[in-house]
Amino acid sequence: MQVTTLEPGNPRQHEEIAQRASAVLRGGGLVVFPTETVYGVAASALSDEGVDRLRKLKQADDSRAFTVHIPAPQDIERFAELSGGAARRLAMKAMPGPITLLVEVSPKVIQRCLAGLGLGKEHENRIYHDGIVGLRCPDHPLAAAVLSSGGAAVIASSANLPGERPPVVAQQAAEAVKGHVELVVDGGHCRYAKPSTIVKITGEGTGETGGPGEAEGFSGGGQSWSVQREGVFDERYIRKLTRYTLLMVCTGNTCRSPMAEGIARQMVAEHLGVAPDGLDEAGVVVRSAGAYASAGVPATAEAVRAVAATGIDISGHRSTALTRELVDSADVIYCMTAGHRLAVLELAPSALDKTHLVDTDADINDPIGAGDDVYQATAEAIRQGLARRLKELPL
């Protein structure tokens, strides 16, 4: 058994470790590697010998599927489909990180994924068990190096014998699996030193559009989640990660952004198949604020009338001033003008990638002081802009 210890200040070592791990995994061997939670032991799912040896080490029968460990979140698509909504939001926000997703996968998708890996139906239980795949994307550079080197599919479990505590330092792992593995990668003490949180995603992801909102171009939904085991993250934090917040920004938060908030709430609710007042339970929050707003001012009468014709009621709206807290809590921010976008970025430069104009081609000008016809034209411009923008979101 070879033990490779990370050397501080040696940037080439990750590549060297990856090459060693690749040779071991592709040759049917086992590799112990660090993650941010505990040390794991990996095998290539494409290797008969590697899978058999991992099962022997963990005293698992032939029906057991091990968790697939992926180097990057986008690799989820090689093993499962997240159809949108909370499941996709959770994967986007929590991976890489200390979370394991148990995803329900349809037989059709399983067949396609196995074929893509070059595996037959007889190999299904290496990755899937009763239509479920476990997916983990560790937040550790050495784990990413090992997993990237391992080929199309790397399966892993904690690097301990059954009944023993998962190791959090390499020496513990080496002693626990001595005689069973070829390579131990020492990445120091695991950051969290506790297991990942396990979240089950139910409802088959199809990757097809359909249902409410199809005309607007949204992706289909239908998956839900539940915490199976709390680890680094508790259920309250998982719920926070699954929420998606849209923030509309204008100047005074009495005309354009209140109309945008109402329009966006209606569009998203129609897509999710819920009433606008059911968005919070569905995990979506739509807010608005003004870059130079005074708090507590109602929407203008013209703005209220402009959206009332389409069944949107913003009569209870009261203005809110834009704050750093609102910017930080938003997943996406839509501004009426380039000036509003600049105001957001002055508060939080880190919000650059999530802050956009409602209309990609032009500013939506302030209708304040104009008549109903101008307000109605402004509302329609906002609606058209949001119809394009909301196609981009993981709702």
Q: How far apart are CA 37 and CA 53, in angstroms?
A: 23
Q: How far apart are CA 335 and CA 291, in angstroms?
A: 10
List pLDDT tens digits, range 153-176: 999 999 999 999 999 999 999 999
Q: Which of 82-91, 134-143, 287-296 has the lowest mean pLDDT?
A: 82-91
Q: How far apart are CA 385 and CA 395, in angstroms?
A: 17
**Stretch 181-195: mean pLDDT, rounded?**
94
Give the right CATH number for 244-392 from 2.60.40.10, 3.40.50.2300, 3.30.930.10, 2.60.120.10. Answer: 3.40.50.2300
List pLDDT tens digits, range 211-231: 333 323 333 346 788 999 999
**Cα distance between the two ends of the chain:** 48
Alpha helices in the chain (DSSP H): 13-26, 48-57, 85-94, 107-117, 141-149, 170-176, 235-242, 256-272, 301-308, 324-329, 338-347, 372-389
- What pLDDT does residue 5 have? 60
Provide φ and ψ at 283, rounded to 5°: 90, 20
Q: How far apart are CA 207 and CA 299, in angstroms?
A: 39
- What pLDDT does residue 150 have? 85
Domain 2-202 matches domain 244-392 at the CATH topology level: no
11 or 331, higher pLDDT: 331
Q: How far apart are CA 131 and CA 204, in angstroms?
A: 10
Is the pLDDT at 40 greater than 80? The verdict is: yes
Provide φ and ψ at 168, rounded to 5°: -120, 0
SS3 293: coil
Give the pairing type, strands 31-33 and 183-186.
parallel
Nearest CA-CA partner of 347 in 359, 355, 337: 355
Give the chain's mean pLDDT: 90
- What pLDDT does residue 214 have? 30
Q: At the top level of CATH, which class does the domain 2-202 belong to?
A: alpha beta
Is the pLDDT at 367 greater than 60? The verdict is: yes
335 or 208, higher pLDDT: 335
Nearest-5° angle of CA 192, CA 196, CA 202?
160
Cis peptide bond prior to 96, omega within 30° of 0 = yes
Domain coordinates of the chain in residue numbers?
2-202, 244-392
- What pLDDT does residue 210 have? 32
CA dist list (Å): 382 to 241, 268, 357:
28, 14, 10
Please say whether the beta carbons of 326 and 247 come within 8 A.
yes
List pLDDT tens digits, range 256-307: 999 999 999 999 999 888 999 989 888 899 999 999 999 999 999 999 999 9
Give the pairing type, strands 197-202 and 99-104.
parallel
Alpha helices in 95-221 (DSSP H): 107-117, 141-149, 170-176
Q: How far apart are CA 30 and CA 36, in angstroms?
A: 19
Is the pLDDT at 204 greater than 60? The verdict is: no
Q: How far apart are CA 139 and CA 316, in angstroms?
A: 44
% of residues, the chain, pLDDT over 70: 92
Q: How far apart are CA 273 and CA 212, in angstroms?
A: 6
Provide φ and ψ at 342, rounded to 5°: -65, -40
Catalytic residue set? 250, 256, 366
Q: Which of 2-6, 330-334, 391-395 has the lowest mean pLDDT?
A: 2-6
| CB environment 369-385: b (16+ within 10 A), e (fewer) | eeeeebbbebbebbbeb
Amino acid residing at 369: G
Q: Which two tokens stand for residue 162?
A: 């059954």
Q: How far apart are CA 163 and CA 155, in angstroms?
A: 20
- What pLDDT does residue 282 have? 83
